[in-house]
Chains A and B, each alone.
Chain A
Amino acid sequence: MALKKVPTHIADRRTRRRLVRKHWQFYMFCALPVAYLVIFKYIPMVGAQIAFRDFNPILGMWKSEWIGAREFVRFFNSPSFWTLIRNTFFISLLRLGLGFPAPILLAIMLNEVRNRAFKRTVQMVTFAPHFISTVVMVAVIITVLSPRVGLAGRVMAFFGTAPYDLLSVADNFRMIFVVSEVWQHMGYESIIYIAALSSVNPELYDAAKIDGASRLKKIRYIDIPSIMPTIVILLILNFGEIMNVGFEKIYLMQNPLNLATSEIIQTYVYKVGLINANFSFGTAVGLFNSVINFLLLVAVNQVARRISETSLW
């Protein structure tokens, strides 16, 4: 059957208009979601200007005094500014480095398992930790790492080292945090990949088998390419969240001995704000984070565009 070639970018104006008319129903479908976006996302964005004003609720947004970049300056001038940036970035990149491949590997491995019961069990078990609330999660981490009663202590004693609290060494913090994140979320995050893998055309597998391909080859030439679009898209999206390390878990895991590496932007802003509510400061820092996220997202998207077929836009 002859396939009509559809251009990837529709340059011709006339073609564009024709397509718009042809697919009017699509535009109708999008109307509701777009309305949602406008109402709940874009209209409030006008409020981002709070970062530049000394916000007074009675005067409202438009009449509050304009203070320009004062709050941004306050943030940039904080003595810990560079430490905060460094810590936030390092933790985030480490998490990306370990936490991004893990669900993919898990999904691929699970896809190979033939025993249905085993497969489902592993899936179920790895999925469960995602629900543990942060408070309990940190309690569990601390218990496991406890030199006295925890696994860490017993392992250390077994190898002959005097047990000590791993969380009290600043250098360990990032690793402990990231490993616990991976542990907690890899099952949940693998679901997308599992679903993607399940949509691979079985005929491809049969053909590979007939050609005598080993499983490794099959993974390399069939599985991975099929989920590559998903992988690329998720990678781009993850870069767009790089400054959002997540406040609560870090806050609960901090102690005076690991603050050098565990103080991130969000915890710092929280502590400063704890003493008196300063909206403009929080908003300004939030805006700063968003800009960084945005720049990274665009950059990674461009890279993806050049070297692969998939990109966000």
Chain B
Amino acid sequence: MKKLIGIVITLLLATFGFASGTEEDAAGDVVVLDTFVRQSPMVSSVDNNQFTDLIEEKFGVEMDFTAVPSQGADEKLSLLMASGDYPSILWTAGFDRSEQARYGGQGVIIPINDLIEQYGPNIQKRLAEYPEVLRDMTNPDGTIYGLPHVEGCYHCTYSQKMWINTDWLNNLGLEMPTTTDEFADVLEAFKTQDPNGNGEADEIPLTGSVQWWHAEMWPYIMNAFVPLSYDWSQAQFVAVEDGKVYFAPTTEAWREGLAYMNGLYEDGLIDQQGLTQQQDAMRGLVSNPDEIIVGAFTAGHVGMGVSLEDRERFLNDSGDGVRYRALPPIEGPGGAQYAGYFPPAFTSISLAMTIKATDEQQLKMMEIADWIWTTEGTLTTISGPEGVGWRWAESGELGLNGEPAVYATYQHDAEAVHNRTIEAFPFWHFDLFNSWAANQDITSPDAYERFLVLETEQYEPYRPEEPVPPSLYYNSDDAQTVAQIQTELQSFVDQFAVGVISGQRDLDSEWNDYLAAFDGLRLEEYLSLVQAAYDAQQ
């Protein structure tokens, strides 16, 4: 017994040094940048990292990272800010307008307008080329608190897509449907005419998923009735007509939409579980190895249903195209035909500097940021050092947009983790993004992004005329009210919509009660706040 105690005490003492963590001394006149950064699980280490090494060498700095796993980073950052334990530099802050107002107002983060003016020539150039970025990142009072992460993902702008099985259309001699009636007919044909030719009625005409990127089935279809750009984590359900903000779920058109979808459901054309199943289940269906059973599914991009590696499933039977193609928005009985529109917003800043940053640190950081916003800097940031992650395009190579490409990246598919980059704030806007060299043959595995661009172009004409800006700005009091009401509204609208579609609730008898309930949910108050914010941004 005594011996055990002795061992315990020795161990405890021995752990003292181990437990105190490691401290590193900074060398001479190297500027140390204590920085907060989010760490993706794909990155094996931020300290032992090619990008970090490059930056340190190039700018004579030492990056002292506080790396937080991306899962939980928001909470951790909030805590650091609130407790006063934040570092000098916030590398991937992700502060939206309200947080900028709050922290900026409290003096915790500092304006960088002057720094950009004096030390950021490249940044200024970019902002001149893309005034919308400048507009977004500037607060109403003219202060700029940081640099956003600019990534012009074109296909993300119209990511509320329906993907339809082109082989089945061919097998049954059908065209891509363009109206809700045609759509219903096509789904019916999928269900009854055995398009996968195996003699069994195992086809699932339409399925989807929940809590994922645009995987819900009903928003896409609802766009044939009202404009709806739906995001499962924060749905606004508002649309604009003639400058007036209105609430889509209380309109007659919404009701018609629900009735239509309930009809599809009753006919067995909408997958029962598509309304509630999780991502894995949907993927399992679409990628079913034995038989192809899914006719159509909704997803942000088709890879959510079928993996790129699964060439057999990904490509169609004849191998000359992709099996599931994007179905452009369909037209409803009232003539509505909208695409869910999600324009990029740059109101959230990634790089920020706190009041703890010394002049020296601010200067160095601005130098680094200025370089990151050059083309080479951005390309290095997104893929790794030149020659390892990217290279200049050779003549003859074409980009995502079909025009001559500017750069190409190296494929590194085999590895599970890498250390070529860390999360940062590149300036990878549409033009640069789209001049990414891509195999123009869309049946090739590395042509995926190009494929997505092509599919997205079909959605472009159906953008709503008066879109709701992606991030409306509210002052901090209103923001909390909006947040709370919106959560309640979404919960209510979602439940009713899915309940009606699945037949659990009866549309006709419950519609009036549904409408009446919105008073209790403070809809009017919500709309007036949204309207005010919308007007302010025009």
Contact = CB atoms under 8 A, between A and B. Distances in A.
A272 B494 contact: no
Contacts of A57: 81-84, 106, 108
B69 to A, nearest CB: 14
Interface string B93-135: 0001011000000111000000000000000000000000000
Interface centre among B84, B278, B499 (most CB of A within 10 A): B278
Contacts of B82: 55, 57, 279
Given A55-B82, A78-B484, A257-B276, A276 B106 contact: no
Contacts of B277: 142, 146, 165
A98 interface: no
A168 interface: yes
B307 interface: no
B327 interface: no
Contacts of A169: 504
Interface size class for chain A?
35 or more
Interface in B451-488: 476, 479-480, 482-484, 486-488
A139 B280 contact: yes
B271 to A, nearest CB: 10
B487 A272 contact: yes
A62 to B, nearest CB: 14
Contact of B498 (A55, A257, A279): A257
A260 B495 contact: yes
A146 B480 contact: no
A134 interface: no
Nearest to A58: B106
A142 B96 contact: no
Nearest to B276: A255
A263 B480 CA distance: 20
Nearest to A255: B276
A139 B284 CA distance: 13
Contacts of A126: none
Given A58-B106, A272-B483, A277-B99, A164 B272 contact: yes
Contacts of B96: 276
A79 B211 CA distance: 24
A288 B497 CA distance: 32
A209 interface: no
A143 B353 CA distance: 46
B487 A271 contact: yes
Nearest to B496: A256
Interface string B268-296: 00001101111011001100000000000
Interface string A47-79: 000000001111100000000000000100011
A167 B233 contact: no
B487 A165 contact: no
A142 B487 contact: no
A281 interface: yes
B502 interface: yes
Interface residues of B, number: 46
A277 B78 contact: yes
Nearest to B96: A276
B480 A165 contact: no
Nearest to A271: B487
Contacts of A279: 78, 82
A224 B382 CA distance: 65
A275 interface: yes
Interface centre among B99, B284, B491 (most CB of A within 10 A): B491
B106 A79 contact: no
Contact of B497 (A55, A256, A258): A256
B495 A257 contact: yes
A275 B401 CA distance: 35
B492 to A, nearest CB: 8
A99 interface: no
Contacts of B497: 256
A146 B280 CA distance: 11
Nearest to B107: A58
B236 to A, nearest CB: 11
Contact of A257 (B275, B280, B487, B522): B275
A123 interface: no
Given A57-B81, A256-B276, A275 B486 contact: yes
Contacts of A274: 233-234
A148 interface: yes
A149 interface: yes
A147 interface: yes
A259 interface: yes
B235 to A, nearest CB: 11
B210 interface: yes
B497 to A, nearest CB: 7
B488 A79 contact: yes
A275 B483 contact: yes
Contacts of B479: 275-276
Interface in A239-259: 255-259
Contacts of A127: none
A259 B491 contact: yes
Interface string A126-151: 00000000000001001000111100
Contact of A276 (B233, B483, B499, B521): B483
Interface string A62-104: 0000000000001000111000000000000000000000000
B521 to A, nearest CB: 5
B22 to A, nearest CB: 25
Given A146-B281, A263-B491, A256 B210 contact: yes
Nearest to A146: B281
Interface in B202-255: 210-211, 233-234
A48 B510 CA distance: 44
A277 B211 CA distance: 21
A142 B278 contact: yes
B98 A80 contact: no
Contact of A259 (B98, B211, B495, B504): B495
A278 interface: yes
Nearest to A57: B82
B234 A79 contact: no
A268 interface: yes
B520 interface: yes
Interface centre among B83, B106, B233, B480 (most CB of A within 10 A): B480
17 contacts: A55-B82, A57-B81, A57-B82, A74-B480, A79-B520, A148-B273, A165-B277, A169-B504, A255-B211, A259-B491, A272-B483, A272-B484, A275-B234, A275-B486, A276-B96, A278-B480, A279-B78
Closest 4 CB pairs of A and B: A275-B483, A255-B276, A256-B498, A256-B494
Interface of B: 74, 78, 81-84, 96, 98-99, 106-108, 210-211, 233-234, 272-273, 275-278, 280-281, 284-285, 476, 479-480, 482-484, 486-488, 491, 494-495, 497-499, 502, 504, 520-522
